[in-house]
Structures are given as C-alpha cells and as structure tokens.
Structure 1
Amino acid sequence: MKIVLAPMEGLVDPIMRDILTRLGGIDYCVTEFIRVSVRVLPPHIFRKTCPELDHGGKTAAGVPVHVQLLGSDPQMMAHNAARAARLGAPAIDLNFGCPSKGVNANRGGAILLETPNEVHDVVSAVRQAVPNDIPVTAKMRLGFKDKSLYLDNAAAIADAGAAHVTVHARTKVEGYKPPAHWEYIARIRECVKIPVIANGEIWNHDDYARCREVSGCSDVMIGRGQISQPDLSKVIKAERDGKPIEPIGWDVIVGFLLDLVAQSQHRMQPRYVHGRVKQWLHHLKRRFPEAKVLFDQVKVVNDLDLLKQMLLDEQARAEQN
C-alpha cells in the first residue's frame, strides 16, 4: 500500500511538501506541473519547482519527489524529461489530467485525452529518452468531455511503457465535483498490465476503504483530503495496521501555519505570504472549525508582523485548551 501526495497547482509547493512529509505516511510526492512548450528549459526552472533535486530528489524527511511535466510535443517532452533526469529526478510523471482552460487551450493536460494516439506518443518519447532505471509514469482523468475514451487512454499509456498510471476518477468537465467514479478505475485495472493508482474524493479512512473496495486499488493519491487533514496518510495507515491513532490537534496545525509563514518569507515577497496562509486555512476549514474562525480574523490582515502575532496568539490559546 502506497499513499502519494497529489500535485496541486499553486498549493502543494516545496514548502507544503516539506511540512506534510514530516508528518509521515506519504510514500512519495509529485510536483506541480512544469509546462513544456517549444524549448528545453534551463535547470533553474526545474529547481524552482523542485528544489529537492539538489537534495537527492527527496524532501527533508527523505520522501522522494517525482517531477511532473505537461505538454503535447513528444520530442520537447522527451528532451525536458531527459534534463530532469540528469538533474536528479527520481521519476518523471506526465500530466494528462489538468482541467485548466488556459492549459487545455494550449494543448496541455486533459485535452490530450481526446486523442489517445498523442498520449501514447508523448509517453513513448519520454520513456525512450529517460534512463531505464528512472520510472516514467502518467496521470489521467477519465476523459475530457465524456468517458468514452478512458480505456483507450489507459491502454495508450500502458502500451507506451509507463511504469504505472494514476487515474483521477472524473472527466475534465466534471472537474472536482463529487462523486469520484472509482468503478471506472476497476475497469482500467482489468484492461492494463501496469499498476493503477486511484485518485479522487478520499477525505478520510472510510473513503479510502470504499475506494479500495470499488476500484480494487491498494495504492492511492490524495490531494485536497491531505491538505485538509495534514496527517491523513498516517491515520489511514494506522487504521490499516489495526493500530488507530488520534489525529493531530489544532495546536499542532497552528504550529505548521507558523512554519509556512517562516518558509514562505524565504521563497516569496512578503505581500504574497498572507495569501498562502489564507489558502491553507480555507482548506483546513473542512476538518477544523477553528480554522474558519481564524480565517475570518486574518482575511483582512495585510501586515506580516501582525499576521505572525495573531498566529502566535492562536497557538497559545490552542495549547491551553
């Protein structure tokens, strides 16, 4: 059983990967996508998205970080994948799932699911360009407008030499609206000879158990659920082992918010730090009622020192309760 931290554009960045993997339970991460168009990108672009490349391709907690590429030109994708491999990427993941209108308009992400032959060509070119000891994997949705080609796309990925495929169990049009159609993942498993990882609507251990039962997959990728409950992977594995643990408390979460602020100050201009805190609090509201109260308090704050003091005060209150 493996649990993978999903790539979430603008949210699961190196800071979030560092915080979440320190909690345990995550087997590997996938970066936000690196957009490939008409050139081989310089090394600093790869290192900006994946600074872990300078540390053996792992987070500080020792969790591997796979580099994800997005694009439609097989040769450009191949050249960039080869560069990422030379820079130390432990694996290359290919994005055929991004639902962004802007990305799709430029022949990237989920739009390629309309043409399985293109999906095959991209995966095949990258597989040939990357050393054999570095896995090439792919992430797909069930389709773009509908699910009519989901088996064709899964077969294209498998036949092109991918080591495994992760399936977000919705179409592009369905976006992130529940439910996730895990039963389609089960059908994919019956038709391809490579491992399949299930993704979509896993918010707690019960969701994981249902996903495993319906899809037949023991390996899952978790995104929003992990952001909402930062120790979710650890909780799921403890339940699996018959040794349930208490989820972390709000006081610990506030400590991570302070860590987010501290690390963000080194990676971005001060005026953007507030947005990161508010963004995470928005997701935490699903699991922690205290997050909504704190979000309402900090949403109008623009002074960074005041923000940090508010978080310190909240941490002190939480520790007393």
Structure 2
Amino acid sequence: MSFFKKLKEKISGQTEAITNKFKEGLMKTRGAFEKVEDLVRRYKRIDDEFYEELEDILISADVGVNTVMELVDDLRNEARKQRIENAHELQPVLSEKLVGLLQGKDEDTSLNIEDGRLNIILFVGVNGVGKTTTIGKMAHMLKSQGKKVLLAAGDTFRAGAIDQLEVWGERVGVEVVKQQQGSDPAAVIYDGIHTARARKADVLLCDTAGRLQNKVNLMEELAKIKRVISREVPDAPHETLLVLDATTGQNALSQAKAFSQSAELSGIVLTKLDGTAKGGIVIAIRNELQVPVKYVGLGEKMDDLQPFNAEQFVHALFATSIEKEMEQEEE
C-alpha cells in the first residue's frame, strides 16, 4: 500500500470538517508545495539538479536551511536504499519524512489536562502574535468540552491588554481575574490561582506580557511568575505554551529559540497559518527545537484554533497529488 493511501486511511477516521479546515487554512502554503509537484513532473529521473531545486523550493517555503539540508540528505539516502530513480516515486517518501519530522517519536501533542485538579496553562510570546486571541479561543474550546475555565490577565504591561482579555472573557462567558495596569504580574497570577480554587475551576489560562527575547528583566519576570505558580501548585504550570505568528517566518524560529532558552516550553501554538505561504516554518520549528506544535490557528473564527495533526498537515500540503495518486490506484 502506498504512503499516500495509508495517509488517506489514517485521516479518514477524523471528521471531514477538520480535514477541510486544514486544506483551507493551508491554501497559501500549499501553493509553495505545489512547486514540488511541478518539479516531480519535470524530472523523469532524479539527479543532483533535482535535489538542488527541491532544496530551493523547501527553503522558499520557510522549512529552514538546517532542516532542509537534513531532509534532502535523508531523501538521497532513502532513494539509494530503495533504488528509486523516478522522481514521481520520491514524492510519497518526502511526505512520509515530513510526517516523521512533525510527529517526533512517541510524541504527545495533546494538552496536559487532568480531571480532579486545577490545570494551569501559561502563555508566553512577544506582542502581536495573537496570544490573547489564542487564549480566548482555547477558553472557548475547553468550555465547549465541559471544563470550567478562568482567565488571569497577567499582561499588566501593555496598554489595553487587560481590556482585550476581558472582551474575550465576555465573548466566551468566562471570568477574568485582573488588577490595574502596571501591577505585579505574579500577583495577578497568584490571585488567579486562589480565585480558580474558590470557583472550583478546572483550568486557569494565564496571559503574560509580550516579552521581547532580549529584555533580561522581562525574562526574569517570567521566571518569577513560574516560581509563584509552582509554589502554589507544586506540579504546575502544567503547560507553558509559546505563541508564534506563522507569517513572520524565520523570525518566529528565532523567537522560539530564544524563549526555549529562557523558559521550559511544553508546546508551540502557531497562529495565522492561514495567512502565510510559508507554513513550512512549522517543520523548521518542530525539527530544530524538538518541542511539539500543539495547536495551529487556521482562521479568524472562534473554532479555528485546531489541535495540530501531522498527517492532516501533510495531507493538506499535497492534497492534489494524493487525490491523483488515489485515482490512479483505483483505475
């Protein structure tokens, strides 16, 4: 059975709505990866020039130079091992390698949420990446799953951040714990924990200031917040999610590297994936940081924050090729 057929069968158990969300959300990025399909059509036999063009295409999609070099070397070895000479036969191998890179080994991309305890999720990231919007959407998602959710407005630095979170709180129908602008963020999170306990909440989502990775004092503030959380709830935070804007490409990778050095990240949320042709940055971030991508933003609607799924992602990138391959196999 071909890899494309296996991939199709794997995602067949998932709802058509989710499959369509990935297809629609990755429309711009798919345009970049369609160049791979064109490359495969133009080359009957694989040679060095083929690999060079493939490298250029993947780098232009922001897969990242280091990741591309590793990936293409791996493809060369696999082609020799399987004695693949036809470029068409190499495309499903590329897809399989991409799924492997995105999944990692035995990696759990679900949120670490358990019944019977207060689950604390800390959100970090620079300004403008969609952090507050992501918190609002996740609150909506968790509430729709029957969880009692509270928000803590720990971004006391940016003007309007508290108001923005309150708007989301009203929209979703969840309580927001806040203090005045300029208050100690750690004190807000502390209040949030005690309020969440009093309300018997299941999940507390904590906003933080949009820290610039080169601001030492702000990184120290983040460390103080984590100390307060772990003191009040010894096994917390249960998740520390870094929110990145996919449209910033390699800059998102730079931010991810800086934050991974300053905070123990448990996962990545990549926003605005529907707004970029360079969605390959997902692959670069996952491969270079070895931190799982847990959620992706595929649109502006309340339910457009989706759990990341490597098979759905790759299926969406090569949807045209997969459908053609399936048609040929059925004939």
**TM range, smaller chain:** 0.3 to 0.5
Between 1 and 2, higher relative CO (CA 8 Å, sep ≥ 6) is seen in 2
TM-score calculated relative to the size of structure 2: 0.36
TM-score calculated relative to the size of structure 1: 0.37
More helix by share: 2
